[in-house]
Structure formats: structure tokens, C-alpha cells
Amino acid sequence: MTSSLSGAGVIITRPAGQCEVLAEMVEQAGGMPVILPSMSIQPTSAASRWPPELPPIDQYQVIIFISQNAVRLGAHYLVNNAAGLAAVGPSTARSLEALGHPVSVSPGEGFSSEALLQHPSLQNLRDQRVLIVRGVGGKELLAQGLQARGAKVDYLEVYCRSQVQVSRDHLERVRGLLEAGKIRFVTATSAQTLENTLQLLGPQAKRLLKSAQLVSASERVIEMAGELGISTADPAPGPTDKDLLQHMLKLSAKQASENQ
């Protein structure tokens, strides 16, 4: 891979334990990865024991997985399952298919609940049961849209998010790199990721982040960053590590050409 990042600092804010692959890719591209996990993903009791308040899984006609973490912690329930499977984004769909579970419904474009709701097969769900596999406290938009089309919707919440305890020394190092202008990009895959990153960096966060450029595949995150005065660019083509890296390489090349 061409070393197009040329020493640029990249703050990687994926959940704890999920930063390392992108960090290695950034380093191989000549950048300086700085790991700052925005949250920790922990399994709930529903990840190992089917909730007694839910009907058996074979009573559902459609099962929707919200994220790769939902697949990692909930796909084991799909033994001999005949329901139609849906995934909010392509990386989630690939995770299911890698486990031998073909996905029949995924957005044609985009990586959001809004995009999934546009799928033709989800327009008429009268008298159908739909299970959404997700983390605790996700958005209600998807369920509300499905219910408006006649579906009975349940949640299987297989993980919860909590803020990571980051050492004071590491936070001071990250703040120092931002202050010195050594961070070019900051990744954020969700609004909660950005919110948690701001909390970790403290009262100076918005000022510090103005010296870097936020990278995300989410239009919602891009809009949120813009409202906070944080420099952004067009959304990345997708939320995967490869998508984010390629987007940063493209932005870096553009910046280099503009400075010539």
C-alpha cells in the first residue's frame, strides 16, 4: 500500500478491542495511529440465554441485525432458522453470510435504518413478527417504521455500550497531539462514538478537534460534527476499516495537491 498518509496522525475511536485492524492499516499507509476507544461493547444476558418474554425464534418471519456486534453476539440463535434475514449495512450482511446465514434484505444504498426501510420487501408486513437484534438503547426509528406497516416488533438486545476508562496520561498525550496539529483525521462511526470522544477529551474537545478532520460514513455524524464546528468532508463510502482508510488516503492526496 502506498504510504500516502505521510506521517499523519489518525485518532481511531472504534470500541475497545476493535481498533487494532484499522490502526495497523493506517500504519502500513504511512500514518500514525492513535487508539482512543470511544466505548466498550459488553454482552448482555440475552447474548447467552434466550429472553423468556420473547416467543421462540421460529415464530419470527423477519430477523434484522443492526451491526456486526449484533451478529457476533446473536447469530448463534439462527440454528435451522427459516426467517428472512436483514442487515442494516453491507459489513453486517457479510458477517452473517460468513457464518453461513444468507441475507435477503439489505439497503441498496446507505448504511442506516432509514435506508433499510426503503427496501421493497419491508413495505407490507401485516401480521408478521419481526425481531431486531441490536444493542441496548438503540434508535426507535426502525421499529416505528415497521410497526406502521403492520409488523409486530420485538427486540433481542445482546450487548450494551459503556464508556471506556482511559488513563489520564494517554488522554493528555492525545490532547497534546491535537494541540500540536499532529492529528489530521479523527474517525467516528456513530453519533454516540463522537459524543463519547468529546466527553473523553473534556471541555477543550471542540477546540482541539477543529485542528483535525472528522471521517465517517454516517451523514448524521457528519452533520453533527459540522454543527459543532468540527471540520468534516463528504461521507466515506462505507463504515468498514478499508472504506475509512481509502477515504483518508483520498482526502490526504487532495490536501497534498491543494498545498502544491
What amino acid is encoded at 122 in this protein?
A: L
* Strand partners of residue 85: 63
Dihedral of CA 148/157/117/195: which sign? positive
* Strand partners of residue 186: 11, 214
Ordered structural domains, the chain, with CATH = 63-161 (3.40.50.10090)
Give how far Cα 25 sits from Cα of 129, 184, 202, 214, Å. Answer: 41, 16, 28, 18
Give how far Cα 89 sits from Cα of 18, 65, 71, 210, Å. Answer: 18, 9, 12, 29
Does residue 76 sit in helix, strand or coil? helix
Q: In 3D, which of 127, 133, 202, 125 has the Cα closest to residue 163?
A: 202
Does residue 155 sit in helix, strand or coil? strand
Does residue 222 sit in helix, strand or coil? helix
> pLDDT value at position 3?
53
Rounded Cα–Cα distance for residues 84 and 93 (Å):
12
Q: In 3D, which of 116, 165, 107 has the Cα closest to residue 142?
A: 116
Under DSSP, the state recorded for 138 is: -
What pLDDT, in 10s, does the model give residues 177-221?
999 999 999 999 988 999 999 999 999 999 999 989 999 998 889
> pLDDT value at position 2?
46
**Residue owning grid cell 483520498:** 250
Ranges of the chain whose pLDDT falls below 50:
1-2
DSSP 51-80: -TTSPPGGG-SEEEE-SHHHHHHHGGG-TT
* Strand partners of residue 41: 161
Give how far Cα 119 sits from Cα of 203, 252, 257, Å. Answer: 42, 35, 40
